[in-house]
Structure 1
């Protein structure tokens, strides 16, 4: 006998929101303003302190969440204690029917970039605020940190391995965002299953400690995974472990991993030892609380790849991107959209539905983020439009493969000035200009 669920449906995203979104709906329904046409925009007022650019991530996840944003019997039962009858009836019929434009996933962003433009009725658009912000703020923070790490790493691969350092579902989203920003793989199997992110993994110190000797552990791993595997060599003595690893796997040993100590100094010692033993093709992978600064500091060391965990999944000091979702236009008495804007101190916004362009020099280098209201200017400058249709009349039209976002990120980052390669604190790489 199947027992029906007692709580909200697992596949609905409708309750991943704040209470006040629904009380605003209730009050606007009573006032007769709920169905006024409205435009909301999701944007950053500034970049995290010291950062030179940000990376847009979460677009695909947000589109999936939008399609599941419906109120079934279970969701309505939860809300019956806090909302009136007309509001519950409206929610029972809720389906987003408006239009959404946005920066595509993997694109760069700067202060005031209109990452999402949502046009619908107030009733439909206001309910999406918390859901969109929670996805975009998390995923873009991770992608922005990951981009700095892959930039510092250069051609050396980065592996995401931070699942145990964050919420179990955030770990899946973090792996996805990191892949967009250039990480080559993740340890998280759910990210492989849901999004096709490549996974990798070998063993931890517990595997070595399980066996009577380090040699037994190495032989067990090589017998199971092949000579091309990566052996962890810092459980006891690094030099001794490297010698054993070569004895067991021979010149075909894929890599050794160092997870503690002075990584730069150990990498030099291990590289010399491997070469002396004839294992010139065996790579050196380092882990242990790496961030973009540590990766940059290892640039001169003979390191072949990096495994990054805690600092990645926490945004390397900036766990949220700081995006806001604001009403910028609403239907006036004439039936036309009228600009509206918040004017409070330090939190002012610019009214009106925006366009956004990336202005580039004749050499193809980004020079400015051009943002304005109305029709984009047409001139001789090399201006690249940034907003693409994501949802049209309630139907998702902006879905794309994850590899498309990954490729876009590489191309968009390559457009930016060389100043982005500096890991020191600085101003945004390009200015935001209001047209």
Structure 2
């Protein structure tokens, strides 16, 4: 892994390069995704089958072969050995319980004129969830995306997940059964996003698309935003560990591996003022990496996007963390609460030596769909609120209308909207019996 020190002359340039989230091939991706979306809009099911055959080597000849019957989902769950099934069900229960604790509630209050003001909350009607496939299967993503939607009361959950060579992971099928997915299509990439946004002869149009994917999925979500809602445009996964030197360097190395094994473009960083600890982590990486089944991916990720950064002190470590705004932030320190108030930007924060990011990925409860690429500066984790809408409710009383009408009318005239002014003044000049 590369080593950086905050007092080196070229640190700012090296640090800026390290946290740069731009993709060199973005223009090419944009163009390709735009073409795929246009094709799916024009040819519907035929385009979806063709792209799935060509890009995923799927043997399907029609849409019937790309949709999985709900009975097959349940059969996969029923066939699971007891321990894997218990793990999925335990994780699902924890994710659901946490999501329900986030629920936005209706509220109202009455002002001094007797006007009733507030909001009611309604779920979106249909959600599309994307669960990535390819280098690994992600049943955890199925749970994290679908369960908050279900807790919110979404009427229909439509899932897209690629099935390279036509093979679907049994864990993913079982997770879909537990999560209450209504329709499951083995379609991936930009074509899956296009189908959810615009529909086809078989795929229904959804109201919101959530879930991470590759660069093509992310760009497709960006391009269909406005036609449908999205929770974020996700990039490569990230972890940043802030360490004070009091922890286990082997644990830190494993936590870096856990992030790096997602893909060669994942980012795994550690910041510490303790040079000896950084040396120990570096040695642990070299010692432990040979035991990792995905070691080739890990090596590529750490070589291209990993770093061990030494700072002058912990305050500087926190300041650099806020500039990175990481998806996952581990506070591997003896007193994480002492640092928490200084953290301004992070998708999820893991407190102390015994809270690895992997707990958040699977079963702690808070969602693992998180802002990446420094978007934690303005975005948050997926939650039940992503599947709820707030509808403002305004009920003016007779006395309230008399008080509000001249204010509204004056502002309307200032904007040159005289019909607005007349509409407002009519309520203030007449009683209900005069209308």
| Common fold: TM-score over 0.5 | no
Which TM-score bucket, shorter chain as reference? under 0.3
- The higher relative CO (CA closer than 8 Å, separation ≥ 6) is in 1
TM-score (norm. length: structure 1): 0.22
Give the structure-2-normalised TM-score.
0.22
